[in-house]
Structure 1
Amino acid sequence: MYRVQGAGGGKASSGGGATAALARMFSRKRSSGVRKVHAVKGVSFTAYRGEAIGLIGSNGSGKSTLLRAVAGLLPPESGTVYTAGQPSLLGVNAALMNDLSGERNVVLGCLAMGMPPEQVREKYDDILEFSGINEKGEFGSLPMRTYSSGMAARLRFAIAAAKSHDVLMIDEALATGDAGFRKRSEARIRELQEKAGTVFLVSHSNKSIRDTCDRVLWLEHGELIMDGPTDEVVTAYQEFNKKK
């Protein structure tokens, strides 16, 4: 659950311009237009080591919110998340520094994940090769702000996948890139799974889910509709969409 400011009536929330924003910012009164949004409601499940779990559902169904809660980035207002080990969330909007080069971001990203410098040096070339950012020129030396969204997403995935994680959560990272990169990514997820980590994958690609995951959680409007084997849940989800 999260709060939306200015969602109701009232003088302070009647406008959307800079003046109205400043009025809300400096107002001593608590806004009467605060609305609570239940992004995820009553979702309960247990994930085990070695599982690759897909999250599917319509846009706005709560998939990304659920991952952020598991990662500890969005503390739930009710309920509890228990994790064994350190969860790591990889999304297409994962924070890297746009003014730094891709090569520099590889080093900083690996250090931020807790990898010692000698391991960073060992993995450095493999990360750049896996991401493919230098396949059509030396983009690795250019600032990340010059990258396409697909190039940036590939680099984020390559950095996160360089380390074995207790719990790795991937938010739409496989939706970008060509078929060759998706194939490499899916193979890497299987490697992580074999090393006893737990993988969560949010994707609108049913093929990626089928190729990667052995279990699927289906969410709609923040509620867990179905939890079970991949083929069973994805088939039910596809039938649901046909009836819309």
Structure 2
Amino acid sequence: MADPQSTPAPAHPPTPTPTVVVDEVHVTYTVGGGSAGGRGAATAALSRMLRRGEKRPTGRRVHAVKGVSFVAYRGEAIGLIGSNGSGKSTLLKAIAGLQPVERGQVYTDGQPSLLGVNAALMNDLTGERNVILGGLAMGMSRTEVRERYDEIVDFSGINEKDDAISRPMGTYSSGMGARLRFSIAAAKSHDVLLIDEALSTGDARFRRRSQQRIDELRAAAGTVFLVSHSNSTITETCERALWLEAGTLRRDGPAKEVVAAYEEFTATGATTGAK
């Protein structure tokens, strides 16, 4: 008879590690009313100076995210779906710390990175210079950027037909720019990577490479959030999905189940008013 004391205890799965906690978050912002439109930052600043002391229109208040709560765990890839204007991109910005939260709290373990390094990329500079600037903005050293430069350019695929990397980024199509931004951001591992629509650009080969890279980032103990209007991209890339509609979280669960519910919802024409 075996000694009961020598019987090993059953193995328990490791406790998942939370990386993002969103607790009853509300996000509001104001549109219109005193905005400078497309006149540029300098003109807008001058207009504000000239209008000091004047009573300005208050604009329209938008309640973009309404009491959203969820917990994301290390190693997850989570898709965000919903109609246009449902609050998906606003929620990503709030998680990244780029959009103030009116009520509720966002807790993150590590530094979230919103895909795009948009603020660092400059249209009048070449793609080559933007790879360097973008890499530095993502926290890489100059040595790391040099070591990964060819990999970044090759991954983006923008140089396959001509020497696009040596041209100003302002000459790129929106798809080329999005692919280069994804390639820069994906060259570095992230605690939390937030991707907004980048995988909807490019051909099937680029999407496959992108999905493979997301899997690698998750395997490196990261968490990935993906916003996309392509339901197939969500189900192929993510095992979990959050469905936002009119700023509220309607469903949180396995990606295929949530996408199926959303597709049934849209098929009924229930998304009236979505833009």
TM over 0.5: yes
User: Deviations for 1:26-73, whole angstroms, at most 9, x for unmatched residues?
Assistant: 152443533321000100110000000000000000000000000000
Change (3 A) 1:78 1:146: same
1:117 equivalenced with 2:137 (yes/no): no
Give runs of aligned pairs for residues 1-244 of structure 1, distance below 5 A. Answer: 1-6=28-33, 26=51, 28-91=53-116, 95-244=120-269
- Compute the RMSD of aligned alpha carbons: 2.2
More divergent stretch after superposition (136-145 vs 28-37): 28-37
User: Deviations for 1:139-196, whole angstroms, at most 9, x for unmatched residues?
Assistant: 1111101111111110000000000000000000011111111111111111111111
CA distance in 1, matches of 2:119, 2:110: 20
Say whether the 8 Å CA contact 2:156–2:179 is kept in structure 1: yes
User: Deviations for 1:88-115, whole angstroms, at most 9, x for unmatched residues?
Assistant: 0014966511111111111111111111
In terms of fraction of residues, the more helix-rich structure is 1
Structure-2 residue corresponding to 1:9: none
Q: Percent identity?
A: 68
SS in 2 for 1:61: coil
What is the aligned length? Answer: 234
CA distance in 1, matches of 2:216, 2:191: 13
Change (3 A) 1:56 1:92: farther
Aligned amino acid, residue 3 of structure 1: T
Aligned amino acid, residue 154 of structure 2: E
Change (3 A) 1:52 1:78: same
CA distance in 2, matches of 1:175, 1:69: 22
Say whether the 8 Å CA contact 2:78–2:238 is kept in structure 1: yes
Aligned amino acid, residue 2 of structure 1: Y
Say whether the 8 Å CA contact 2:117–2:134 is kept in structure 1: no
User: Deviations for 1:123-149, whole angstroms, at most 9, x for unmatched residues?
Assistant: 110000000111001111111011111
Say whether the 8 Å CA contact 1:92–1:153 is kept in structure 2: no
SS in 2 for 1:79: strand
In terms of fraction of residues, the more strand-rich structure is 2
Normalising to structure 2: TM-score of the pair? 0.80
User: Deviations for 1:181-240, whole angstroms, at most 9, x for unmatched residues?
Assistant: 111111111111111100000000011001100100000000000000111100100110
Higher gyration radius (CA): 2
